[in-house]
Structure 1
Amino acid sequence: MAENVRKSRIRSRLRYPHTPHHLLNLHRHCDIRSYFLPLLPSPPPGAQPPSATGPPLKVYMYDLPRRFNVGMLNRKSTEQAPVTARTWPTWPRNSGLKRQHSVEYWMMGSLLFDGDGGDGREAVRVSDPELADAFFVPFFSSLSFNTHGHHMTDPATEIDHQLQIDVLKILGESKYWQRSGGRDHVIPLTHPNAFRFLRPQINASIQIVVDFGRYPHVMSNLSKDVVSPYVHVVDSFTDDNHSNPYESRTTLLFFQGRTFRKDEGIVRVKLAKNLAGYDDVHYERSVATGDNIKASSQRMRSSKFCLHPAGDTPSSCRLFDAIVSHCVPVIVSDEIELPFEDEIDYTKFSLFFSFKEALEPGYMVDQLRKFPKDRWIEMWRQLNAISHHFEFHYPPEKEDAVNMLWRQVKHKLPAVKLAVHRNRRLKIPDWWRRRNCSQQHMVADRKFSIQTRIAYSRQHSD
């Protein structure tokens, strides 16, 4: 654990070399967004989310050239005019794991669609920005990372870097971005390395993320951002109507994937050792090829429980593959955040184990073997009932993942509007946050000063 903390601090220092350590760590003690951003308050205790009923969110979408979005799906095309509903391309079937980060594509498509969505549409596009409740930035930052070089030394990464520079230039010249400081702008960032070069410059925006594992809370946090599901890569189990689903699923616990991961993902290596030797447990090391994805889909459908240990980040696509396969998720992650959790109770169809519990030899398997059949069947029924919330469609469908995401954005807007209005009349940095956190800032500063003096004295005593 100490080694993981040390590595986390090193990564933070590499990402933000000009920010003192005590500020990078201060978010653990209090909300320090007031250091960088005006107030973005959390909802009051007991507050209920807005109803799903009511008028759809009015969203203005920037008309960006195709190189910022669908142009990356067909790099041979020279067309640069903004895409329309008539020219909207289908997502390529051979995209492999790129699909899991394609939330940006489905959200953009939902705004382009000009057909009849009935009462199920949570967001509609408006051509007049003065009428907009929110603004959508159709930059495929996750696809850009996946397309333009994964390693910082790859020459192709400069394309990704330049796209980020260009989109920020466009936003910086927009009076609507300037008016709110970007707070009412929605930007999908579902790959942990999306917008990797200039992400601090979009701190204030409503970010669509899959978790908060890679960035300090001053950049991304639950009070202003929206947690999205990954787009599942296995086929949905649409005809799961077996008369005896419990007995038809002969594997107790299933996992297939990489076992050597960073940070919290080290738990996968330890689980591989703990789960070896059980006849009813399938724990397989593999990479995500087309054939392996198909095999994984079939095995999920024949398993009662599907293991979801943390990977490089607290969440992964595997959880949502399990949901659409109606395999009860077994979640092992101490820091996971889940999508739509103000509307969906995951305990009704998932089991949760802490790292400590999961790594105790024999404990997790024993608990799963003793799990009552009637409770498992009820969870299986719940999975059948809620899995449509994790499906991405074009055209969008009522209560599908895209509409659920837009509803989450709607939930964030009251706090955003308060922050925007409040910031317009404040003459000094946010006094309320500063007063409430001042003592903790002083403690952190004092600790930092003491550590500096100790390090200095040690250096000169050697």
Structure 2
Amino acid sequence: MRVSDSSSSIKLFLFMLPFILVGVFISLLGPNASTWSFVSVSSPSSTLSDGGFGGRVSSISDFKHGGEGLLVVAVDPHGKVENAISDDTAFNHSSAPSFSIQAIETLQLYNQSEEISNVSKFLPNKAPMNESYVPQLTLRQQRKFSILDRTEAILRQARAAIREAKNGNRSQDVDYVPIGPMYHNAKVFHRSYIEMEKEFKVFVYEEGEPPVFHNGPCKSIYSMEGNFIHAIEMNERFRTRDPEKAQVFFLPFSVAMMVQFVYVRDSHDYGPLRKTIIDYVNVIGERYPFWNRSLGADHFMLSCHDWGPETSASVPNLYKNSIRVLCNANTSEGFNPSKDVSLPEVNLQTGSIEGFIGGPSPSRRSLLAFFAGGVHGPIRPILLQHWENKDQDIQVYKYLPKGMSYYDMLRKSKFCLCPSGYEVASPRIVEAIYTGCVPVLISDHYVPPFSDVLNWKSFSVEVQVKDIPKLKEILMSISPTQYIRMQRRVGEIRRHFEVHSPPKRFDVFHMILHSVWLRRLNFIVHNDQ
């Protein structure tokens, strides 16, 4: 019985031996001969670039021409800023799905989990003669989409909705519907504003201590610094405490407060201010991944102080990449209208606009033009040289005569002269708008506030410095009918320059945010990891 069992075992072993040898042979050759192909799903960053604007925005009127002029920028973490390839796929559909449907479809895509699945096996019935058969596998790796990808997808849908608005119906709004020649494209602006209200989220870094950080003047010529910082930090609609949900990141320092508390008076040394900003950016760069991820492109600062542009140059990427919201919007000093935001200079002497708003009708304005102010910078001396005490219709003063009210003079005048001082911006522009006086911008290289939305030529007069001697001729050439139209438009756009606490829709706070929103729509942040 034992012999029989042994014989059976030997026979079974001999029968199995060829199979064992073949298995060993395949296992030895298989890894070297097999072909493994990993195919990555296109990242939303590259997908989004297909639907980008295709150029940089200089004006929201660019949407009238198919949105050309918007540049989609891809920023990778290795220090390289690139133009993203764009074919405007999302915008060329004659009838694209609604924003909500597209957003749902996109977000469903992000619910896919990362997995590696075998998508094809080619198993021939018989291997070719004299060749060993090796199974060939093609593996597809599906990428897990990040929160950044989701953010960029939402922005892409907003771009598509804004583009669609240029040929669509006017949006409904219970508060205000922009309309008229004061806007480059009123329908596009309104849709963009609505998309901002739905989607825009700002993360405010909590690092830093007052008075330099999270603080700013609210009752001076630099009042927009303090007002904006306070408004954004108290805002529940736009501020998010979760940085992963933010499209932009705010650096909450006040240059005006740095000048007051950090700068050594009369030292002419920017060093302490520069060091303060460098140290702050280094801190947030070490604590968070967001600055280094985009090289600062999705970050913004805000300054109404004359030294805002100078201090921003302390950090090269802040100057070159970040959105700088500046009163001193001087293109000859590095202000870039496609990236930076022109901030209106509002002199809130009492911290409120109460008592400064409103003025008489055109028929009750007896004076052609008015200016009173110190002799600052290169332009005002030229203005005073040609017009001080020279003409009763154009009253220009270095110092306002005793007993004469500055605001009464604004309300008496048809045109209010707004020459640049040491820097290009002037609070007189907003003062003119508040009192219903048509502003006359006398400056070179100045970009007026919200120029990407507002058509300044429809409600203001722009005079080059070289044309100051012809000032009266220029103003008199405007017909009474045209002046009445311009003056009425000043009253209609005034809401965009009003300061409210808490902020109201379409006021200056929201217009600043909208300007930042437009620039964030301008580029794509890649998460190339």
- TM-score (normalizing by structure 2): 0.58
- Could you tell me which amino acid in structure 2 is paired with residue 51 of structure 1? S
List per-residue Cα deviations over 1:37-62 (Å, max 9, x = no partner).
62478999997666211214111111
Equivalent pair of 1:182/1:205 in contact (CA under 8 Å):
yes
How far 1:208 moved relative to its partner? 0.5
Q: Which of 381, 385, 388 is the equivalent residue of 1:273? A: 385
Which runs of structure 2 are paired with 1:100-111 in the superposition (5 Å)? 100-111=221-232
List per-residue Cα deviations over 1:153-190 (Å, max 9, x = no partner).
179x7764553243123222121111111111111133
Which secondary structure does the structure 2 equivalent of 1:344 belong to?
coil
- Could you tell me which amino acid in structure 1 is paired with residue 496 of structure 2? H
Instruction: Look up the match of 1:66.
Output: 209
How far 1:110 moved relative to its partner? 2.5
Instruction: Look up the match of 1:255.
Output: 371
Instruction: Look up the match of 2:405.
Output: 295
List per-residue Cα deviations over 1:361-390 (Å, max 9, x = no partner).
xx2213323532222222221111111101
Equivalent pair of 1:140/1:188 in contact (CA under 8 Å):
yes
Kindly name which structure, 1 or 2, has the bigger radius of gyration based on alpha carbons.
2
How far 1:136 moved relative to its partner? 1.1
Which runs of structure 2 are paired with 1:341-420 in the superposition (5 Å)? 341-359=451-469, 363-417=470-524, 420=525
TM-align CA RMSD? 3.6
Distance 2:228 2:347 in 1: 15
Distance 1:211 1:275 in 2: 26
Distance 2:241 2:466 in 1: 53
Which runs of structure 2 are paired with 1:18-417 in the superposition (5 Å)? 38-39=81-82, 51-54=192-195, 55-67=198-210, 69=212, 93=219, 99-114=220-235, 124-149=238-263, 151=265, 153=267, 160-173=273-286, 174-194=288-308, 196=311, 198-203=314-319, 204-213=321-330, 216-217=333-334, 220-233=335-348, 235=353, 240=358, 242=360, 245-261=361-377, 266-276=378-388, 277-286=390-399, 295-359=405-469, 363-417=470-524
- Could you tell me which amino acid in structure 2 is paired with residue 273 of structure 1? Q
- Give 1 or 2: higher helix fraction: 1
Distance 2:203 2:504 in 1: 20
- Could you tell me which amino acid in structure 1 is paired with residue 291 of structure 2? W
- Could you tell me which amino acid in structure 2 is paired with residue 301 of structure 1? R
Structure 1: runs of 5+ lacking an equivalent: 1-30, 74-90, 94-98, 116-122, 426-462
Equivalent pair of 1:228/1:405 in contact (CA under 8 Å):
yes
Distance 1:216 1:37 in 2: 24
Equivalent pair of 1:40/1:415 in contact (CA under 8 Å):
no
Identity %: 25
Cα separation, partners in 2 of 1:209 and 1:280, compared to 1, 3 Å: same
Cα separation, partners in 2 of 1:62 and 1:330, compared to 1, 3 Å: same
Equivalent pair of 1:246/1:373 in contact (CA under 8 Å):
no
How far 1:69 moved relative to its partner? 4.1
Equivalent pair of 1:61/1:138 in contact (CA under 8 Å):
yes
Cα separation, partners in 2 of 1:68 and 1:136, compared to 1, 3 Å: farther
Cα separation, partners in 2 of 1:42 and 1:113, compared to 1, 3 Å: farther
Distance 2:85 2:229 in 1: 27
Structure 2: runs of 5+ lacking an equivalent: 1-70, 92-162, 164-187
How far 1:199 moved relative to its partner? 4.6
Equivalent pair of 2:440/2:463 in contact (CA under 8 Å):
yes
List per-residue Cα deviations over 1:71-124 (Å, max 9, x = no partner).
766xxxxxxxxxxxxxxxxx654xxxxx23233322222323356xxxxxxx61
Equivalent pair of 1:388/1:399 in contact (CA under 8 Å):
yes
Which secondary structure does the structure 2 equivalent of 1:207 belong to?
strand
Cα separation, partners in 2 of 1:294 and 1:225, compared to 1, 3 Å: farther
Distance 2:439 2:456 in 1: 9
- Could you tell me which amino acid in structure 2 is paired with residue 303 of structure 1? S
